[in-house]
Amino acid sequence: MSTIQVDNPATGEIVGSVPVLGSEQLSVMAARARAAQPGWLELGFKGRGAIMSRAQKWMLDNAERVIQTVISETGKTYEDAQLTDLGYAVMALGFWAKEAPKYLSDERVPSWNNPAVVGRKLIVRYAPHGLVGVIGPWNFPIVNGFGDCIPAMMAGNVVILKPSEVTPLSSLLMLEMLSECGLPADVMQVATGDGSTGAALIAESDCVMFTGSTRTGRAVMKAAAEKLIPCYLELGGKDPMLVCADADIGRAANAAAYWSMNNAGQVCISVERVYVEAPVYDQFVQLVTANIESLRQGAPDGAGSVDVGAVIFPPQLEIVDAHVKDAVAKGARVLTGGHSKVDGGRFYEPTVVVDVDHTMDLMREETFGPVVPIMKIADIEQGVRLANDSPYGLQASVWTKDTAHGEAIARRLEAGAVCVNDVQVNYQALNLPMGGWKSSGIGSRHGAGGIRKYCKTQSLLITSFGFKREIFMFPYARGRTMLLQRFYKFFYGRGKRG
Ligand code: NAD
């Protein structure tokens, strides 16, 4: 069996190695998972939730270990690992433990408004798919992987998690955590490996939850279509930020700097392009540039040591560099940054680019690095047009002191999530759906849909009254035409009489 070495992108140090599992191992794991599923379902929401709540406490008690594990394989800053990877999981464990019963308990729906079923008991029931295959990317090794396992398990499924080959260690720690917190064996398993392991996992799954690039997302959906299983995709983005002339420019500039540089820009909902109305453009650019010039970058050495971390995935460094070079070749100007820094670790300087337009890859394709391109626009109409001129539709933000106007603009943007005067914090609102439009995905995480997607619905119709014959049975069925017409008139015709 081949193995993958895991390195620390900020130092180049090898921090671990994991096996690449293949189809044979995956079928054994799937069989074990399926055997564990009925017992797990039997535990009920309360029993499953108790384990998640214990895990929430475990995470808080072991916060330092979790943060250091994430940093060791991503080279991100202490704050990035703490806020997102640790913070999200702590929140999500508690949220789904508490809210799963609300979203998944049986629902009674009315029967009185339909003559065909009046008097019957109508129930919607949510039944788990069985084995959910969760496949994750490398930028948030806990959030976009383990984070999706939590609602899947709370719904009564068993899961096999295939973390990115670049960052598998955090997922193994999550498995260790759940085992210590009493998770029955095989309810969650981690299948380390590369794309071939992911493909083998889909072949064994009853449902797929995938987070990663749009390109791989297409292959995943094809494989799921062959098996005819549900498949949910959280893919790439090219999130626009629209700054109106009446915005609080200080707040907007700070937000542009922070939310384009957090996690070194390796965030699907990062600020990837900014459009600023002409009257405030110069001031905005000056504030953002000053902010970004002051950032400290390097290998993290504890809390508060650096502001911008490493580039996690080696080829990403080339993509970021190519986007900046393409923009410069087409007339853009780099105001700060603009170079790779490879000295043991892999870094790309925090970069601001101006004089950009939509002929440049930097404004059209996902850059996924610490680079913020800023474009001057004549008015917000042009901004809306340019924001929507993208194959992606993950997230966007609008900046204005007139929040009603901001909301009206937000509703015109082709994106699954839009913030007015904020960025990314919507991801922390676990009762708010989060998912992409267009090439950014299918389905959503969080909210009711974020857990119901891990279930099949079953409709139950229960008739408890004892008429031996009625209009849906012989002999009345033969002559029911007039009777039915009267029924329909009674039920549906009343509003139209007068
Ligand atoms: P990727 O598509 O290269 O890989 C993602 C995962 O898919 C990895 O675990 C990989 O091993 C696996 N994989 C590769 N080929 C496969 C196949 N044929 N079948 C099954 N699995 C396969 O993505 P990445 O480079 O790891 O992650 C970065 C991308 O993820 C960016 O585009 C980013 O925007 C996106 N992302 C999206 C969200 C979101 O919520 N929308 C969140 C985080 C990251």
The Cβ of residue 314 has, within 10 Å, a number of other Cβ atoms equal to 12
Q: Is the CB of 442 under 6 A from ligand 1?
A: no
Q: Model's pTM, two decimal places?
A: 0.96
- Residues known to be catalytic: 234, 268
End-to-end CA distance of the chain: 78
Q: Any idea how long the chain is?
A: 498
Q: Which atom of ligand 1 is nearest to the CA of 137?
A: 26
Q: Is 117 exposed, middle or buried (0-12, 13-18, 19+ CB in 10 A)?
A: middle
Amino acid at position 122, single letter: L
Span from the CA of 495 to the centroid of ligand 1 (angstroms): 53
Residue 497 CA neighbour count, 13 Å, CB half? 7
pLDDT higher than 90, residue 67: yes
* pLDDT (average), residues 179-207: 98
Smallest CA-to-CA distance from 240 within 437, 450, 443, 403 is with 437
| Nearest CA, atom 21, ligand 1 | 198
Smallest CA-to-CA distance from 357 within 336, 316, 386, 334 is with 386
Q: Is the CB of 84 under 6 A from ligand 1?
A: no
Could you give all domains of the chain from N- to C-terminal order, each with its CATH number?
Answer: 3-235+447-456 (3.40.605.10), 240-434 (3.40.309.10)
**Rounded-to-integer distance, Cα 256 and Cα 358, Å:** 19
Token pair recorded at residue 175: 């498995």
Q: Is 452 exposed, middle or buried (0-12, 13-18, 19+ CB in 10 A)?
A: middle
* pLDDT the model gives residue 114: 84
pLDDT digits (tens, 9 = 90+) for 317-363: 999 999 999 999 999 999 999 999 998 899 999 999 999 999 999 99
Span from the CA of 222 to the centroid of ligand 1 (angstroms): 15
* pLDDT the model gives residue 498: 47
Angle at 371 between CA 245 and CA 251, to 5 degrees: 35
State the pLDDT confidence band at 212, using cuts at 50, 70 and 90.
very high
Share of the chain above pLDDT 70, in %: 99
Q: Is the CB of 219 under 6 A from ligand 1?
A: yes
State the pLDDT confidence band at 208, using cuts at 50, 70 and 90.
very high
* pLDDT the model gives residue 481: 78
* 3-class secondary-structure state, position 479: helix
* pLDDT the model gives residue 496: 57
